[in-house]
Amino acid sequence: MIEDKIKIINSNIKNMLECKKLKLKKCAIYELAQTATYRDDEGSAVPLIITNDGEGKYIFSDDKYIFGCYHKILNKNYSESKGFGDNKKTVEVAEMILIVWGFSDKINMNAEQFESKIIMPSMPNDVMLVASDFDRYRVISGEFKGFNYEPKPEEFVFSVRYRVTSKYLRKCRGCNYEI
């Protein structure tokens, strides 16, 4: 369910960028990422997309793109709700964060404008918005461990926290075996 919401959000962001006449080829829009150890350096970590074969792809700010973003799961909380009959459903609330970076001189928008004109309209109604953080140094320090990343003056970085709620009937999909 989380992956489906991320795909919808990313698709909406692409549509908003096209609407504002920004070139998608110059945008790096990623799905679910994690902070992972970089090149086996102890204590050093950077945001990466980890593929199923264990390879990591660096996804943060890059001069060849005018904008980029990626999503991360911060945590998940669970509760029970009654379904039809005696079926209990598990309610999952995933706390998510969208990390956004870009170059205001290439986009002709600052961080607050980009958030209000591109990111906020891209969030589906069933996604609960929590907070945005425009302190780029705080956001960067949360993404990089053991590295001194210094953003360029024209580079903006911000984050948007949001929640995705999903309901599950705990049983094996495809075999009706209830857990």
Q: Considering the chain, what percentage of its residues have pLDDT values greater than 90?
A: 46
Question: Given a cut of 70, is residue 41 above it in pLDDT?
Answer: no
Q: Around Cβ 6, how many Cβ atoms within 10 Å?
A: 20
Helix H, strand E, coil C: the string for 51-104 is CCCCCEEECCCCCCCCEEEEEEEEEEEEEEEECCCCCEEEEEEEEEEEEEEEEH
What is the domain partition of the chain in residue ranges? 2-169
Question: What value does the mean pLDDT of the chain take?
Answer: 85
Distance CA 25, CA 65 (A): 8
Res 176: pLDDT: 54
Q: Is the pLDDT of residue 86 over 70?
A: no
Q: Select the more confidently predicted residue: 36 or 22.
A: 22
Mean pLDDT, rounded, for 110-126:
95
Confidence category of residue 172, pLDDT binned at 50, 70, 90: low
| Residue 170: per-residue pLDDT | 66
The more confident residue out of 176 and 84 is: 84
Is the per-residue pLDDT at 178 higher than 60? no
Query: pLDDT-derived band of residue 96, with 50, 70 and 90 as boundaries?
Result: very high
Separation of alpha carbons 119 and 117, rounded Å: 6
Residue 145 makes CB contacts below 8 A (sequence gap 6+) with 35, 43, 44, 45, 46
pLDDT digits (tens, 9 = 90+) for 144-153: 877 777 888 9
Which superfamily does CATH assign the domain made up of 2-169 to? Phage tail protein-like (3.30.2000.10)
CA angle (161, 165, 169) in 5-degree steps: 155
More confident residue, 100 or 28: 100
pLDDT of residue 50: 78
